[in-house]
Structure 1
Amino acid sequence: MRAARYYDRGDIRIEEVDEPAVTPGTVGIDVAWCGICGTDLHEYTEGPIFVPPHGHPHPISGESAPVTLGHEMSGVVYAVGGGVSDLEVGQHVVVEPYIIRDEVETGPASTDYHLSDDMNFIGLGGGGGGLGEKIVVKRRWVHPVSNDVPLDQAALIEPLSVGYHAAQRSGAKAGDVALVVGAGPIGLLTSAVLTALGVEVIVSEMSPLRRQKAAETGVAKHVLDPASQDVVAEVRALTGGKGADVGFECTSVQAAVDTLVDALRPTGVLTVVSIWGRPAQFDMQKIVLKELDVRGTIAYVNSHPATIELVESGKIDLAPFITGRIGLDGLVTEGFDTLIHRNETAVKILVSPSGRGL
């Protein structure tokens, strides 16, 4: 089968690889669609980060570069291994793409398996990836999705789960006002979750296309352009001088951090969602004098079932966030290059590894 293989920074190759074997306790999935994530872009431009460098195998997967990329995937079950009795061939599914030690408790009551030692992600740390035609995944990490949800939209459930967990981490509740700085895929999807939960969302974004997406999809009540508007003043005006209750940093840009610290109300919560490739700075005196909480958030933990329910119930429509569909051969030229050099022109670009969805 064909797959996109990450060798090193700036080096991704489309190659023929062996199809994975379906073994007891696993599920074979024909990948329908796989999204290109900001983490994939960081690997391409700055990595390896999550990808184990060649010759340095990951302690759980045992793999090192080259590895198959892709962790935002949807597909159709083509086989189930022994002991798997609650999924069937033909069922639509998404993957919660974790690589976690077998002894870690990952049951429905767990709130921290995503923080366990040596955690990594399928499609980064090994285990195959969604940018291959097929993948085999342990049953624990496979989530069924209604056939009423189109498979291209289902591929966005993984990044939507990031937004769901970020909303949980922030403590945001119905009636709160949230400022989301950055309306890339994660910022928009976090806004979608917040709006579905009854939070009033203000989005700040430089890109006209992404501002338009935030407005036309209804995930934000107010959309601001930081190039022409004083975001802090606007937020204060919209909140009667109080400031936002919660803030979400979704850009990995220093100016976003500064804006959020100033725009949050006293005792507000700043949630850092983006992956940072370099240190950031905080004005600690402002944090102290306003008694702000600063919270990190990474990926998701038992978030997929609730996230899937938001989509299946119609509370979140994922279709508008898909702005491109490509095949494997265009991964770098049409996908990565667009998102790295012209990211203001796209939101979420999906890849059909087999080409059947194009």
Structure 2
Amino acid sequence: MKAARYYDRGDIRVDELPEPEVLPGTVGINVAWCGICGTDLHEYLEGPIFAPGHGQTHPISGEGLPVTLGHEFSGVVYAVGEGVEDLEVGQHVVVEPYIIRDDVDTGPDSRDYHLSPDMNFIGLAGRGGGLGEKVVVQRRWVHPIDNSVPLDQAALIEPLSVGYHAVERSGAKAGDVALVGGAGPIGLLTAAVLKAQGVTVAISELSPLRREKALEAGVADYALDPSQVDVAEEVRKITDGKGADVAFECSSVQAVLDTLMDALRPTGVLVVVSIWGKRSDFDIHKLVMKEIDMRGTIAYVNSHPATIELVESGKIDLSPFITGKIGLEGLVDEGFDTLINRNETAVKILVSPSGEGL
């Protein structure tokens, strides 16, 4: 089978690999679609980050470079291992792509398995990935999805779960006003969850295409251009002078973080969703004087079932966020290059490892 593998910074190759073995307790999946994530771009430009370092192996997967990329993916079950009795061949699924130690409690009541030692991700630290034609995944991390949800849209369940967990962390509720800083994929999908839960949403974004996408998709009530307006002042106008109840930093840009702090009401909640590759020059005095509650969020924890329900019920339509589809051979030249150098022109680019559906 074909797979896109990460060898080093700036070095991704499409290799021919043997098909993975379906072991007891695992599920064999024909990958339908895999999204290109910002994390993949960071690995390509600045890594290894989540991928094992040079000459190292990941302590759980036991694998080192090269590793198959891709952690946002959907597919169809082609085989089930011994002991897997609640999934069947032909079923549509998505994957919660964790690599977690076997002794960690990952049961339905756990709220912290995603913070366990050496946690990492399928498609970054080994165990195959969604940028291969086939992948074998432990049953715990495979989630069935109704056939009424197209498989291309299902590939966005993983990043949507990031947004779901961020909203959950914020405590936002119906009737609140939220400001989302950055309308990239995670910002837009976080906004989608907020709207599905009855929150009024304003988005701050420089890209005209992404602002338009936010409004067209119905995930934002207001799309503000920070180069043209004072975003904090506009939010105060929307809220009768109070400020936003919650804010989500989805850009890893210092100016955005500063804007969100200014736009929040006293005792508001600021959630940092993006992965920062550098230290922030944060004005801690503003946090103190407004009694802002600042929270970090990473990935998701038992978030997939509720996220899938939002999509299956029709409360969230993922189709507007798919702006490109490519084959594996175009991964770098068509996919990565667009998202690195012309990211204002795209939201989510999906890859079909097998070429089906193109």
The bucket for the TM-score relative to the shorter chain is: over 0.9
Compute the displacement of 1:53 (Å). 1.9
Compute the displacement of 1:254 (Å). 0.3
Q: Who is 2:26 aligned against? A: 26
Does residue 320 (structure 1) correspond to residue 320 (structure 2)? The answer is yes
Q: Who is 1:329 aligned against? A: 329
Q: Who is 1:42 aligned against? A: 42
1: distance between equivalents of 2:144 and 2:81?
A: 16
2: distance between equivalents of 1:292 and 1:10?
A: 40
Name the SS of the counterpart of 2:136 in structure 1: strand
Q: Give CA deviations for 1:190-244 in whole Å, capped at 9, x if unaligned.
A: 0000000011100010001100000011100111001111101100111011000
Letter in 2 for 1:301: V
Q: Who is 2:155 aligned against? A: 155
2: distance between equivalents of 1:54 and 1:277?
A: 19
The worse-fitting range, judged by mean Cα deviation, of 290-299 and 46-55 is 46-55
Compute the displacement of 1:281 (Å). 1.8
2: distance between equivalents of 1:283 and 1:277?
A: 18
Q: Who is 1:87 aligned against? A: 87
Does residue 216 (structure 1) correspond to residue 194 (structure 2)? The answer is no
Q: Give CA deviations for 1:279-332 in whole Å, capped at 9, x if unaligned.
A: 112111110000001100000000000000000000000001000000000000
Compute the displacement of 1:108 (Å). 0.3
Q: Who is 2:193 aligned against? A: 193
Q: Who is 1:63 aligned against? A: 63
2: distance between equivalents of 1:284 and 1:273?
A: 18
Name the SS of the counterpart of 1:270 in structure 2: strand
Q: Give CA deviations for 1:265-289 in whole Å, capped at 9, x if unaligned.
A: 0000000000111111211111000
Q: Which consecutive residues of structure 2, in runs of 5 or more, have no partner in the other structure?
A: none
**Percent sequence identity over matched residues?**
79
Question: Is the Cα–Cα contact under 8 Å of residues 97 and 122 in structure 1 kept in the other structure?
Answer: yes
Q: Who is 1:339 aligned against? A: 339
Letter in 2 for 1:75: G
Q: Who is 1:240 aligned against? A: 240
Letter in 2 for 1:63: E
Q: Who is 2:116 aligned against? A: 116
2: distance between equivalents of 1:199 and 1:127?
A: 38
2: distance between equivalents of 1:129 and 1:259?
A: 37
Name the SS of the counterpart of 1:6 in structure 2: strand
RMSD: 0.5
Q: TM-score, normalised by structure 1?
A: 1.00
Q: Who is 1:275 aligned against? A: 275
Q: Which consecutive residues of structure 1, in runs of 5 or more, have no partner in the other structure?
A: none
1: distance between equivalents of 2:108 and 2:243?
A: 36
Letter in 2 for 1:14: V
1: distance between equivalents of 2:212 and 2:278?
A: 30
1: distance between equivalents of 2:17 and 2:226?
A: 46
Q: Who is 1:175 aligned against? A: 175
Q: Who is 2:253 aligned against? A: 253
Question: Is the Cα–Cα contact under 8 Å of residues 165 and 299 in structure 1 kept in the other structure?
Answer: yes
1: distance between equivalents of 2:99 and 2:357?
A: 28
Q: Give CA deviations for 1:91-143 in whole Å, capped at 9, x if unaligned.
A: 00000000000000000000000000000000001110000000000000000
Does residue 290 (structure 1) correspond to residue 290 (structure 2)? The answer is yes
Does residue 166 (structure 1) correspond to residue 166 (structure 2)? The answer is yes
Question: Is the Cα–Cα contact under 8 Å of residues 54 and 66 in structure 1 kept in the other structure?
Answer: no
Compute the displacement of 1:333 (Å). 0.4
Letter in 2 for 1:225: D
Moved over 2 A (4+): none
Q: Who is 1:308 aligned against? A: 308
Q: Who is 2:230 aligned against? A: 230
Letter in 1 for 2:158: E
Q: Who is 2:103 aligned against? A: 103
Compute the displacement of 1:339 (Å). 0.2
2: distance between equivalents of 1:254 and 1:136?
A: 40
Question: Is the Cα–Cα contact under 8 Å of residues 8 and 53 in structure 1 kept in the other structure?
Answer: no
2: distance between equivalents of 1:289 and 1:34?
A: 44
Q: Give CA deviations for 1:36-84 in whole Å, capped at 9, x if unaligned.
A: 0000001001111000023200000001110000000000000000000
Letter in 2 for 1:280: S
Letter in 1 for 2:35: G
Name the SS of the counterpart of 1:351 in structure 2: strand
